[in-house]
Amino acid sequence: MNRLSKTLIGTVVLASSTTYALAQSTGNLPQRSIVEIADNIYRLQNNRHYSLLVITDEGAVVTDPINSGMATYILDQVHNLTDQPVTHLIYSHSHGDHASGGALLASDSEVIAHANAPERIDGIAPTLRFDDTLEFSLGNKSFELTYLGPGHGEDLIAVVVRPDNVAFITDAAAPKRLPFRNFGGANIDDWISQVKKINELDFEIFAPAHGDVGTKEDAKDVLSYMETLRAEVLNGLQTGMSMEEIQQNVVMEDYSDWNQYESWLPMNIQGMANFLISSGQVSK
């Protein structure tokens, strides 16, 4: 981290605590922050959503805009950090809570999304689509984009930035955090395949779109969580337990210190049971 970045983070921390105080008093201002997590790689926060900004001497690369207010904030950060324009906007997937408000960042950029993404993402037409993998270099960084297959959505990709080996991973997995509520009706076996694919990627720093930054080891733990949850819920269903009994019996104790453990575990169990039953995997 260079001297300028340190000064910048100091300023930003001060600014975000001011914002937080205001947010508490008005109740509706989003909490935003920027933190440098590796050399010229910044993690951007909008409340519970995070994105990534990479500054190079040939341009700035931004992942999900999140929303239009956040896009303005991101562009302000780019202007604070560099004279270079935003040259690439990368959509991790097309879900509206991550992919809205891209217009400001897309105007002069290559806009990259998976081939399955809709024709327009909140009004923005991607200019570059790919099927399995896409790599490009900019300045002293390179970017490896990998399709994670269906599961959480149909167009979810991971972005690994080198040489720092930082992975930006959205929604399919997050360090020490339960999957979102009831899995949203997804095919959870496909979702597990996405987590396996994440584990096959070569990276060190796990920068998720929700929750705290972690390491590659956290991706392994998410896979263990998913596979254990699947096995235990399936066992409960096959031994004739009611949903209430399964929710009492499946405690996933190894994960009790994870974020959202208490609030989302019952929903994780319900979602897993719904999937196993509806996909015909419970023999009666």
Applying CB under 5 A, the residues found at the interface with Zn ion are: 95, 171
Backbone angles phi, psi at 40, to 5 degrees: 60, 20
Residue facing Zn ion at closest CB distance? 95
Least Å distance, CB 279 to Zn ion, is 21
Least Å distance, CB 161 to Zn ion, is 21
Q: Which is nearer to Zn ion, 8 or 90 (CB)?
A: 90
Q: Which is nearer to Zn ion, 59 or 65 (CB)?
A: 65
Q: Which is nearer to Zn ion, 66 or 166 (CB)?
A: 66
Least Å distance, CB 221 to Zn ion, is 20
- Number of Cβ within 10 Å of residue 33's Cβ equals 19
- How do strand 86-90 and strand 110-114 relate by DSSP bridges? parallel
Rounded distance, CA 13 to CA 18, Å?
9
Rounded distance, CA 40 to CA 54, Å?
6
Q: Which is nearer to Zn ion, 88 or 152 (CB)?
A: 152
Q: Which helix (H) or strand (E) holds 135?
A: strand 133-138
Least Å distance, CB 81 to Zn ion, is 28
Alpha carbon distances (Å) from 39 to 6, 76, 119, 140: 11, 19, 34, 11
Least Å distance, CB 275 to Zn ion, is 17
**Residue 255, both tokens:** 């994960």
Q: Which is nearer to Zn ion, 60 or 89 (CB)?
A: 89
